Amino acid sequence: MQKMRVSRFWVLLLVSCFFCKSKGAIVPALIMFGDSIVDVGNNNNLLSIVKSNFPPYGRDFTNQTPTGRFCNGKLAVDFAAEYLGFSSYPPAFLSREARNEDFLIGANFASASSGYYDATSVPFGAISLTRQLSYYRMYQNRVRGMIGRERARTMFSKSIHILSAGSSDFLQNYYVNPLLNILNTPEQFSDILMRSYSEFIQNLYELGARRIGVISLPPMGCLPAAITLFGAGNKSCVERLNNDAIMFNTKLETTTQTLMKRHSGLKLVAFNAYQPLMDIITNPYDNGFFETKRACCGTGTIETSFLCNSLSLGTCSNATGYMFWDGFHPTEAVYELLAGQLLSQGISLIS
């Protein structure tokens, strides 16, 4: 785990210069949109088939509590909140426990199984990005009512907005939907997603957001469930899925640069999550891991959401050395490492 400890040290050192000028958090708030990579429990009370508010999810989180995070513990955005000086995490917008004042440090609108393509969320009962944006407008009105219009405007413009989407669009829609994959090549489908991404950023900008980070696709072909579903019996990463992720990420970076030039005062960063995760896969022991193919939960090949439960046979007793917690999602240990990598890429968002 030496590399992970060093990474965290440098991240904390990197942001410490900002703390010397201010008390508390570096930015006013953190606001999250997207899918299960950043979802902290919005699906809990929905009629959704994609949930994680039950054991063994959350077994390494505070008080061993399952919160709706698709992980054994903290997500990358939780670690990022800590690194940025927050003493608590922005609550799920649909949380029944959160109080009004809890939302003054931000809000999380993400919903597992949502994507850039709104239709992706429908079969799973998830909250589409369009609906998440609608909730964000409601949230803005709530904040204005608490602190006033001018303070709220400053808060929204200086807060960091995080977007994570795309994996569900491919893995839970495009690859299994003949109506999409027969009519569109992966490149053409990516172009459709880029239009949705551009529209989403445009809408956020019009609502006053000026600091936005978007998380790239991971090596999709190396997710245990992807290997099981699309690997044709092989146990190695599915190369064509990884190639699609690389292609998508290239388009994401190009589109991001175009949006930056188009919108005055916009700080927009495309976080490269692909390479740090691939580095773990290709050099697991150097990064403190020993298992990168099999997930911790159950058989480690497919289990996610309700299939990953307290009765799942074979669940590992200690997830620290595992890269994946369930069939689609990393462990807390990976998220800790990833948070440091992404924060170092996004210094422009806090400077």
Distances (CA, A) of 158 to 21, 30, 86, 145, 211: 16, 10, 15, 19, 7
Backbone angles phi, psi at 290, to 5 degrees: -120, -15
DSSP string, 306-339: GGSSTT-TT--S--TTBSBSSSS-B-HHHHHHHH
329 is catalytic: yes
| Residue 282, token pair as written in the block | 């290709």
CA distance 126 to 68: 13
- The CA–CA distances, whole Å, from 289 to 1, 64, 281, 282, 302 equal 8, 22, 9, 11, 20
Find the catalytic residue in 36, 52, 114, 190: 36
Instruction: Give catalytic status of residue 326 as yes or no.
Output: yes
Q: How many CB atoms lie within 10 A of CB 318?
A: 9
Q: Are 288 and 3 in contact (CB under 8 A)?
A: yes
3-class SS at 34? strand
**What torsion do the CA atoms of 91, 252, 277, 239 make, to the nearest 10 degrees?**
130
Q: How far, in Å, CA of 106 to CA of 83, rounded?
A: 15
Active site residues: 36, 326, 329
